[in-house]
């Protein structure tokens, strides 16, 4: 049986499952206010996803403060409490090694807004009309 190229297949089911468990743990820790930091305690943070490395030793946590306010301050506060967060996640998620957490801003919200704006533009709307609907050009010729 030929081997498939694992790099093009995307993350395995196990990586996704572990990433989802870590996402829930981080979101729960932030929601309960278990980290005492003035920036984190007054921010509501959304954790839309976690990408795991193939050896499960590194977790890249994508997050976005509600409304996008003070995003850089939130990332810096999380980096300051990285070791504490890692210990709290390790207590909740049973893994051989506690993954090193890296925090990045999630850009999927702005990307989806850009796609939505593009789909609403007149040029794209013109291309999305069905072929069986009469166009203005067809109406003037008949």
User: Which CATH number characterizes residue 42's domain?
Assistant: 3.30.300.20
Residue 58 pLDDT > 90, yes or no?
Answer: yes
What value does the mean pLDDT of the chain take? 82
Please, is 51 exposed, middle or buried when counting C-beta atoms within 10 Å of its C-beta (0-12, 13-18, 19+)?
A: middle
Q: Helix, strand or coil for residue 128?
A: coil
Residue 52 lies inside a defined structural domain of this protein: yes
The pLDDT of residue 16 = 92
Residue 132 lies inside a defined structural domain of this protein: no
Residue 84 lies inside a defined structural domain of this protein: yes
pLDDT digits (tens, 9 = 90+) for 92-131: 998 888 999 999 998 776 666 777 777 777 877 777 776 5
The tokens describing 64, both together, are: 């976005």
Residue 142 lies inside a defined structural domain of this protein: no
Residue 49 lies inside a defined structural domain of this protein: yes
Q: What is the C-alpha to C-alpha distance for residues 111 and 108, in angstroms, rounded to an integer?
A: 5
Q: Helix, strand or coil for residue 81?
A: coil
Query: The tokens 């980096």 sit on which residue?
Result: 79
State the total domains in the chain: 1
pTM above 0.75, yes or no: no
Domain range holding 12?
6-106
Residue 64 lies inside a defined structural domain of this protein: yes
Task: Spell 10-23 as b/e; 16+ CB within 10 A means b.
Answer: eeeeebeebbebbb
Q: What is the C-alpha to C-alpha distance for residues 114 and 112, in angstroms, rounded to an integer?
A: 5
Residue 134 lies inside a defined structural domain of this protein: no
pLDDT digits (tens, 9 = 90+) for 109-120: 666 677 777 777
CB 97 within 8 A of CB 56: yes
Residue 82 lies inside a defined structural domain of this protein: yes
The pLDDT of residue 1 = 46
């Amino acid at each position: 049986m030929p081997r498939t190229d694992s790099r093009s297949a995307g993350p395995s089911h196990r990586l996704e499952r572990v990433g989802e468990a870590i996402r829930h743990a981080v979101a729960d820790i932030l929601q309960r206010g278990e980290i005492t930091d003035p920036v984190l305690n007054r921010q509501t943070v959304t954790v839309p996803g976690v990408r795991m490395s193939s050896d499960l030793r590194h977790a890249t946590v994508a997050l976005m403060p509600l409304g996008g306010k003070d995003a850089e301050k939130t990332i810096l506060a999380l980096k300051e409490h990285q070791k504490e967060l890692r210990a709290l996640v390790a207590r909740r998620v049973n893994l051989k090694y506690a993954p090193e957490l890296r925090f990045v801003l999630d850009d999927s919200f702005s990307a989806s807004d850009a796609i939505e704006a593009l789909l609403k533009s007149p040029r794209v709307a013109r291309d999305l009309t069905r072929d069986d609907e009469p166009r203005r050009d067809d109406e003037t010729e008949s």
